[in-house]
């Protein structure tokens, strides 16, 4: 014969498992991955901190923007924007120059089944700007935010964080 206390205990365990399975996932901080997006004639390339250089409490995004003419564009402003329109400035921003690309490796590519010299890596792009590194606290880098990039001409481009981070 089954004791009533065992039935009651089993019911509590079953209810707690059911509640766990039906609960909505907690919206935590996102992790950026490599993504390329086309917006308003700009190509925006984003990637996370693959070298682990950001402070442990921060999330780093590396951003490279090029125009229709393929020239690199240094953004005049970068911020996270929440649902109410409040802008959250990064806690760290660094605009890097050509020649300071990190972890670029050898100027070799393996395209078309053969080994060749990548002249873009060897000669590099022309100009004095390459990319921008920005950090935000992990606690604000969540799925309800958009990345707002303001171009030198004042045009703003919005990217949902979910399009570049998971």
Tell me which architecture the domain covering 30-163 has in CATH: Sandwich (2.60)
Contact 47, 59 (CB under 8 A): no
Contact 150, 76 (CB under 8 A): yes
What's the CA gap between 46 and 9, in Å, rounded?
Answer: 51
**pLDDT value at residue 19:** 43
Residue-level pLDDT, tens digit, the chain, 166 residues: 555 555 444 444 444 444 444 444 446 899 999 999 999 999 999 999 988 899 999 999 999 999 999 999 999 999 999 999 999 999 999 999 876 554 444 455 555 666 666 556 555 555 688 999 999 999 999 999 999 999 999 999 999 999 999 9
Q: Which residue's structure tokens are 């005049």?
A: 76
Residues above pLDDT 90, as percent of the chain? 59
pTM: 0.69
Return the domain boundaries, the chain. Answer: 30-163
Q: Name which of 82, 64, 36 is nearest 134 in CA terms.
A: 64
Q: Name which of 144, 26, 151 is nearest 85 in CA terms.
A: 144
Q: What is the dihedral of CA 118, 123, 128, 132, to 10 degrees?
A: 20
* Torsion region of 39: left, alpha or beta (phi above 0 gives left; psi -120 to 50 gives alpha): beta
């Amino acid at each position: 014969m089954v004791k009533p206390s065992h039935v009651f205990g089993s019911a509590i365990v079953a209810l707690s498992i059911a509640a766990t399975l039906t609960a909505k996932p907690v919206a935590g901080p996102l992790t950026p991955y490599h993504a390329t997006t086309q917006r308003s004639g700009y190509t925006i390339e984003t990637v996370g901190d693959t070298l682990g250089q950001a402070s442990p409490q921060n999330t780093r995004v590396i951003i490279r923007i090029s125009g229709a003419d393929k020239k690199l564009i240094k953004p005049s402003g970068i911020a996270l924007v929440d649902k109410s329109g409040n802008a959250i400035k990064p806690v760290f921003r660094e605009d890097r120059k050509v020649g300071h690309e990190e972890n670029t490796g050898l100027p070799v590519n393996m395209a078309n089944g053969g080994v060749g010299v990548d002249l873009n890596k060897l000669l590099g792009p022309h100009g004095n700007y390459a990319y921008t590194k920005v950090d935000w606290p992990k606690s604000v880098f969540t799925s309800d935010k958009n990345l707002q990039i303001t171009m030198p001409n004042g045009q703003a481009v919005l990217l949902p964080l979910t399009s570049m981070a998971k």
